[in-house]
Amino acid sequence: THFSRYTTSHVSITSSIHSLIFQPPLFSKTMSYPLVCLGNPLLDLQFDTNAEYLAKYALKADDAILAEEKHLPIFEEAIQEKSLVVVAGGAAQNTARGAQYILPADSVVYFGSVGKDVYADKLIAANAQYGLKTQYMVQENTATGKCAALITGKHRSLVTDLAAANEFKASHLEKPENWAFVENAKFFYIGGFHLTVSPEAIQLLGKHAAENNKVFALNFSAPFIPQFFKDPLDASVPYCDYIVANESEAAAYAESHGLNTTDVVEIAKHVAKLPKVNTQRPRTVVFTQGTLPTVTVTYHAEKDSFDVSEYAVKELAQEKVVDTNGAGDAFAAGFMAGLVEGKDLAQSVDLGQWAASVSIQLVGPSYPFPKQTY
Ligand code: 26A
């Protein structure tokens, strides 16, 4: 007994010395993670379909919506489709993977909420393949979210059942092991889709970015965001240094805000000039327009003046386009990677256009391996 008591105390002393010396810091200095992304982690069930099938569910060819009860059979029917591919999705997660694809190791960390299931395992594996650091909130009793991506030629219609992704809470970010990433980051990228989930989390990151003069970027994500989530969107815009959106989201914004214009430059000017919390940085609005030029508008409050630029898209040959699911996310990935690398606006847009063209040449919102370089 004496011996065993000795052993026990010996073990406990050495282990406490061990934990004093080798206690891993919350955040090791060698990890940098300058970019934090927040969004809805989803698994994409992508398949080829036709106009008739879209009509059956009253879906538009190029849209993204939240699934209603009447859409749920789509997920069952997807399983029967010969062309079905199951790939990691979730708009901001696609952007996070893409930015990490371009940037050096340990550059990007992604937050979102998943279930405890094989779908989450699949997402974790996909992120790991890209070296994307994943800090999921895990729901015990809700399944990982999924998105039916209905491909009709060059168009994609997205129908999302958020499930566990809908249960993300700002408190997850405030846990010490997560907040360490927030404090350390210099850039934030928020999927506008997350405005349907946790505007509180977006506000929390927005405030942190503004108070610390860090870069805060938001994507409008889909027309229904400015249309039906106008209030949380309007509450987030004051924190934004960069807003990224496509032409149909810009149009939906103009309509829901009564701007009486369809001119993308006019819409961008309006958004760029909205009140801003962090006055140390101007706001830049970036509107992509498919194969038409990408438009950027920067508003300089101190001069009350705008910089307006257009960047032509190097259009891919038709036969090289596999699908456009995730093209906008890939643009945002390249664009954010450019900002993180300290590139200027023109160079960041170019990197965004490059990433989009690389991603649409393969199935789903993915990027090719072996890696292609810019
Ligand atoms: C809240 N909603 C509707 C969504 C999404 C979404 N990501 C987050 N929230 N609806 C579709 N997506 C993702 O968009 C990507 C293409 O841009 C899909 O998962 C797809 O990968």
For residue 158, the ligand 1 atom closest to its alpha carbon is 11
Q: Say how many Å lie between the CA of residue 23 and the centre of ligand 1.
A: 39
The answer to whether the CB of 197 falls within 8 A of the CB of 160 is no
Number of other residues whose CB lies within 10 A of the CB of residue 312:
10
- pLDDT per residue as tens, the chain (374 positions): 444 444 444 555 566 666 566 655 555 555 699 999 999 999 999 999 999 999 999 999 999 999 999 999 999 999 999 999 999 999 999 999 999 999 999 999 999 999 999 999 999 999 999 999 999 999 999 999 999 999 999 899 999 999 999 999 999 999 999 999 999 999 999 999 999 999 999 999 999 999 999 999 999 999 999 999 999 999 999 999 999 999 999 999 999 999 999 999 999 999 999 999 999 999 999 999 999 999 999 999 999 999 999 999 988 998 999 988 899 999 999 999 999 999 999 999 999 999 999 999 999 899 999 999 99
What is the token pair recorded at 326? Answer: 């995730």
Q: To 10 degrees, what angle do helices 118-130 and 91-102 make? A: 30
Binding site membership of 192 for ligand 1 (Cβ less than 6 Å): no
Binding site membership of 187 for ligand 1 (Cβ less than 6 Å): no
The answer to whether the CB of 96 falls within 8 A of the CB of 189 is yes
Q: Say how many Å lie between the CA of residue 65 and the centre of ligand 1.
A: 8
Binding site membership of 64 for ligand 1 (Cβ less than 6 Å): yes
Protein residue with least CA distance to atom 17, ligand 1: 326
Mutate which of 193, 224, 360 for ligand 1? The one with the most ligand atoms within 8 Å of its CB, which is 193
Binding site membership of 196 for ligand 1 (Cβ less than 6 Å): yes
Q: How far apart are CA 17 and CA 15, in angstroms?
A: 5
Q: How far apart are CA 301 and CA 320, in angstroms?
A: 43
Which residue, 31, 38, 39, 103, is CA-closest to 337?
103
Protein residue with least CA distance to atom 4, ligand 1: 193
Burial of 92 (0-12, 13-18, 19+ CB in 10 A): buried
Q: Say how many Å lie between the CA of residue 253 and the centre of ligand 1.
A: 18
Binding site membership of 42 for ligand 1 (Cβ less than 6 Å): yes
Q: Which amino acid is at 372?
A: Q
Binding site membership of 193 for ligand 1 (Cβ less than 6 Å): yes
Q: What is the pLDDT of residue 16?
A: 62
Mutate which of 110, 190, 221 for ligand 1? The one with the most ligand atoms within 8 Å of its CB, which is 221
- Residue 324 Cα distances to 3, 100, 362, angstroms: 69, 20, 9
Q: How far apart are CA 253 and CA 230, in angstroms?
A: 8
What is the token pair recorded at 98? Answer: 């893409």
The answer to whether the CB of 103 falls within 8 A of the CB of 112 is no
* CB burial readout 20-41, b (16+ within 10 A) else e: eeeeeeebeeeebbbbbbbbbb
Q: What is the ipTM of this complex?
A: 0.93
| DSSP H/E element including 145 | strand 145-152
- Residue 245 Cα distances to 251, 329, 371, angstroms: 10, 10, 26
Binding site membership of 87 for ligand 1 (Cβ less than 6 Å): no
Binding site membership of 198 for ligand 1 (Cβ less than 6 Å): no
Q: What is the pLDDT of residue 200?
A: 98
Q: Which residues are catalytic?
A: 329
Which residue, 91, 96, 99, is CA-closest to 40?
91
| CA angle 199–204–210, rounded 5-degree value | 120
Protein residue with least CA distance to atom 18, ligand 1: 90
Q: How far apart are CA 112 and CA 118, in angstroms?
A: 16
The answer to whether the CB of 290 falls within 8 A of the CB of 246 is yes
Q: Say how many Å lie between the CA of residue 21 and the centre of ligand 1.
A: 44
pTM of the model: 0.92
Q: Say how many Å lie between the CA of residue 206 and the centre of ligand 1.
A: 21
What is the token pair recorded at 40? Answer: 């809805």
Return left, alpha or beta for 143; rule: phi > 0 is left, psi -120 to 50 is alpha, else beta.
beta
Q: Say how many Å lie between the CA of residue 365 and the centre of ligand 1.
A: 10
Phi, psi of 322 (to 5 degrees): -90, -55
The answer to whether the CB of 196 falls within 8 A of the CB of 66 is yes
For residue 43, the ligand 1 atom closest to its alpha carbon is 19
Binding site membership of 324 for ligand 1 (Cβ less than 6 Å): no
Binding site membership of 326 for ligand 1 (Cβ less than 6 Å): yes
Q: How far apart are CA 89 and CA 147, in angstroms?
A: 8
For residue 147, the ligand 1 atom closest to its alpha carbon is 19
Q: What is the pLDDT of residue 11?
A: 53
Q: Is 252 helix (H, G, I), strand (E, B) or coil?
A: helix
Q: Is 14 helix (H, G, I), strand (E, B) or coil?
A: helix
Q: What is the pLDDT of residue 93?
A: 98
Q: Say how many Å lie between the CA of residue 10 and the centre of ligand 1.
A: 55
Which residue, 85, 139, 99, is CA-closest to 359?
99
Q: Say how many Å lie between the CA of residue 343 and the centre of ligand 1.
A: 28
> CA 241, 295, 192, 120: dihedral to nearest 10 degrees?
-110
